[in-house]
Structure 1
């Protein structure tokens, strides 16, 4: 009965997060669900507080990075990236797709997947119109790379932050092991995109120049570069990278005279509350059966077959539960085995490209396209996911296996 109640609470939270009736934040369902889990005795108050403390630094970092990405957008970093992509493409749609892949991959890796979805996607749409290319391939690229290109750095995705905190790896150690999987997944995605969208990439439309030019935002780019270096430098010193993100946000906020109200809004405190509350709800499901089940099916060894099995299981859970709950559920089972933990990340980051519900970022991407009158076709999204996810998972795991052997 406890498992049924806990699973019902989790299902309610996830359905609410997907549907978001009247645009209400996910925390509206998650916080009461967490309170009920504690009230019903599914999770003790002490365990809930311990979960908050464990997730707190990671959630604080998430808030700081969201502010950092917003301020980078205010300085024109993403508009500048769009201009560079348009210039590199020379009006050629396949070249533009390659430029969008590079831009989206770097944005996701260095500023998190939320920056790619929220700030880069509108720029991609405008850039495609500017050079007379069809927007569809480039818009789908921003969604796919927001998930699959988040493998590189601990700061690229909330799932990475959670795994990194439990891995015992250094910042550079994590990045070193995930560089080959990151590259392998992006290459597979690009090859599939070129074939899937071949008709769109030869079609041309009337260019719509917007006259958007101007110097590069040098100050913002320097601050972002120093911030990224800071993430790697402070970790061995025992300083949490959230403080580096806060410092970078302050340096970007001062010249723009951004007020505290804007900073608080962009930190997305309701989403932070959702993550904390979701951790308690998932903990309730874990304590009453899910952790035992996962412990029984997860392999013990990080050989090639074990890595493939964990990545596939993580991808399946991401599409059933969403990638954030899937990460929280699998972490206790794989955290003592760094190889399996990194394979799990490949599953929860690449797997969500199969369905809309795989990640909250994909759901947000869909909303953004609707607001720009470029609504995606669910059938196309599913077909593209079927073609990209399996080979990208295999390529990423093979690259991880090679990285682990080299490492």
Structure 2
């Protein structure tokens, strides 16, 4: 009975998060569900508090990075980037697709997948329309890369942040091991998307494009140098934070504070705008979801996965492929955040010699896998809503067909690349 109730509560939370009836926030179901879990004893109070405490730094970073991305938008970073895409593409759809892949990958790495979905996708759609080129391929590039391009840094995805501590490596060590899988995954995505939408990507003749960047809040037509410098320094701060024992959340918070102070002073964004950018209800959703998932794990799911997920003394290529595949399937069944939370409990029991490889294989599955179905990640669901609000319909059949072509290929190739990186690193 406890297992059934826990699973039912998780299903309700995920359905509400996916559908968002009447535009209600994800927390509207997650918080009451977490309260029920604790109230009826599905998860003891100390265990629930421990879960919240463990997720605290992750939620703090999420709030800081959401604010950082919104402030970068207020500074004109994304409007300037859209103009650069238009100028650089020279009116050629294929060239624009390559530039969008680069912009989406960089945005996801530095500002996390939410910035790619919420801030970059509308700019890319607008750029394609201004150039009079079909925008489906470019929109899908943003959606897919918000997931698969989030492999590189611990700060690129909430799943990475959840797993970073369990991986047992430094910030730069994480990036070093995931660099080749990241490159391989993005390359596979590009090739498949390029071929899948080849009818929408003719070799068009050059057309006139803007020669100047749009006005930004910073200084007329000039690039938003202040914001770009702050973002660059924040990225450098992420790299050195682990060497001095500093949590990435403090680096993100410092960057957000600098941009917030400037934006509030110049009145480009008000206090209410800052609060909305932090999205307190979504930040509250994460620990609430964690409590519900912990209850599901405690009543059978974790034990089931322990029987399925191999945790041997040596991480062979077949083991990594199996773990990544299980993680991808689970992400598409229960969403990638719950999948990460449960699978981390499973691989935490692995020997230290193999734990790093298994944790990173899990991340390959939960980050690449969500490109297969809409429910795989909250970012994918949000991406679909953003496109719909701008008159671009995403057909479930088309999304799934593209996912069937990209996910298995990218996941297998990235896992092979991870195996090679681990061998080179002696892990």
- Same structural fold, with TM-score higher than 0.5 when normalized by the shorter chain: yes
Aligned to 1:254: 261
**Aligned twin of 2:412:** 394
Offset of residue 375 of structure 1? 1.6
C-alpha distance 109-72 of structure 1, shift in aligned 2 (>3 A): same
Name the residue aligned to 1:19: 19
Task: State the shift of 1:190 in Å.
Answer: 0.4
Aligned to 1:113: 113
2:334–2:376 CA contact under 8 A, matched in 1: yes
Determine if the alignment matches structure 1 residue 263 to structure 2 residue 271: no
Is 1:233 matched up with 2:240?
Answer: yes
2:306–2:346 contact (8 Å) kept in structure 1: yes
Give 3-state SS (helix, strand or coil) of 1:91's partner.
Answer: coil
1:365 matched to which residue of 2?
A: 383
Choose the corresponding residue for 1:330, options 331, 337, 343.
343
Native 8 Å contact 1:315 1:350 kept in 2: yes
Q: Which residue of 1 aligns with 2:398?
A: 380
State the shift of 1:130 in Å: 2.3
SS at match of 1:112: helix
CA distance in 2, matches of 1:259, 1:77: 18
**TM-aligned CA deviation for residue 232 of structure 1:** 1.7
Alignment pair present for 1:217 and 2:224: yes
How is 1:122-201 mapped onto 2 (pairs within 5 angstroms)? 122-201=122-201
The separation in 1 between residues aligned to 2:161 and 2:274, in whole angstroms, is 22
For the 8 Å contact 2:84–2:213, the answer to whether it is kept is: no
Cα shift readout 1:176-230 (whole Å, capped 9, x = no counterpart):
0000000000000000011100000018699796885332111111000001111
Aligned position for 1:103: 103
Matches of 1:8 and 1:203 in 2, distance apart? 51
Aligned length, in residue pairs: 407
- Equivalence for 1:290: 301
SS of equivalent residue, structure 2 residue 310: coil
The C-alpha deviation readout for 1:219-269, integer Å capped at 9, x for no partner, is 111000001111121222222111111110111122222433222211111
Partners of 2:208 and 2:396 lie apart in 1 by 28
Aligned CA RMSD, in angstroms, stands at: 1.6
Gaps of 5+ in 2: 215-220
Match of 1:5 in 2: 5
Give the direction of change, closer, same or farther, for the CA distance of 1:333–1:208 in structure 2 (3 Å limit).
farther
**42 and 82 in structure 1: CA distance in 2 versus 1, 3 angstrom threshold:** same
In the other structure, the counterpart of 1:37 is: 37
Equivalent pair of 1:129/1:207 in contact (CA under 8 Å): no
Report the Cα offset of residue 165 of structure 1.
Answer: 2.2
Asked if the contact 2:373–2:399 (Cα under 8 Å) also holds between the matched residues in 1, the reply is: yes
Partner of 2:321: 308
